[in-house]
Amino acid sequence: MDKAENWLYKTLHYRFEDADLLTQALTHRSATGRNNERLEFLGDAVLDLLISDAVYRARPEASEGDLSRLRSSLVKEKTLAALAAELGVGDYLILGSGEKKTGGHRRESILADALESLVGAIYLDSGIEAATEIIERMFAQRLDDLPEADALRDSKTRLQEWLQGRGSGLPEYELVSVSGKAHRQKFEVSCSVNNTSSVTHGTSTTRRKAEQKAAAEMLAILLENQK
């Protein structure tokens, strides 16, 4: 594990007192020996706490709901996997033969879990202060570039909140059609709102995504009419 230790020190300026924790953090359950599932459990909780603290301090005026959305944007699997890939975690993962053959070192779920495990291992190795420093280092750019909370609301939520703020009824979504073969279906959904003749449509590979597209189009129309 010398290479992994050197990589970690070069990347995050951290060196384990107990090198076995680093080995365990990088060992996927498909490999033999102690794997990183328990460390992932711990790291998930530590990450939630410290990212919550970071966004709380970064956005002193944000509501509880906005803080939750900001935290979720940082600790969701896609973000953690992207960060793990940027740091080079995949190059040091210990995988079983099956996962190696299928490119497990690039799989989002495996990368995200490994990053959480690494956080858990650092917490066990050196405590909360060290974990805080590492997480602030890991997420520095993303914390600097936090989006406005409104941008994190999905289109259906934004449309509903816009309508409720004006005393209007909730939007209605209707499945218009489903086409294509079972594994490549296309869903078309319509969106209508009381007190307007506009009806928008969205098409996507899932009904939920189609509803989001229809909602986004409806919100755009309502905002344009408001001008």
Least confident segment among 81-90, 130-139, 142-151: 142-151
pLDDT the model gives residue 1? 64
pLDDT the model gives residue 147? 81
The answer, yes or no, to whether residue 152 has pLDDT greater than 80, is no
The answer, yes or no, to whether residue 149 has pLDDT greater than 90, is no
The answer, yes or no, to whether residue 168 has pLDDT greater than 70, is yes
Domain boundary assignment for the chain: 2-148, 155-226
- 44 given a catalytic annotation: yes
Would you give the DSSP letter of residue 169? P
26-74, pLDDT tens digit by residue? 999 999 889 999 999 999 999 999 999 999 999 998 889 889 989 998 9
CB-CB contact of 116 with 35 (8 Å): no
- How far apart, in whole angstroms, are the C-alpha atoms of residue 68 and residue 120? 22
Q: Is 111 left (phi over 0), alpha (psi -120 to 50) or beta?
A: alpha
173-200, pLDDT tens digit by residue? 999 999 988 778 999 999 999 878 889 9
Q: Choosing from 40, 116, 211, 217, which is the catalytic residue? A: 116
Structure-token match 């409104």, residue found: 150
Query: What amino acid occupies position 33?
Result: G
153-167, pLDDT tens digit by residue? 788 988 998 898 888
Query: What's the burial of 224, exposed, middle or buried (CB within 10 Å: 0-12/13-18/19+)?
Result: exposed
- How far apart, in whole angstroms, are the C-alpha atoms of residue 45 and residue 164? 35
Query: What amino acid occupies position 220?
Result: A
**155-226 has which CATH code?**
3.30.160.20
- 116 given a catalytic annotation: yes
Please, what is the Cα angle at 22 between 31 and 75, to 5 degrees?
90
CB-CB contact of 43 with 120 (8 Å): yes
CB-CB contact of 202 with 211 (8 Å): yes
Q: Choosing from 44, 113, 125, 188, which is the catalytic residue? A: 44
In 3D space, the residue among 42, 12, 32, 36 whose CA is nearest the CA of residue 22 turns out to be 36
Band (79; pLDDT cuts 50, 70, 90): very high
pLDDT the model gives residue 6? 95
CATH topology of domain 2-148: Ribonuclease iii, N-terminal Endonuclease Domain; Chain A (1.10.1520)
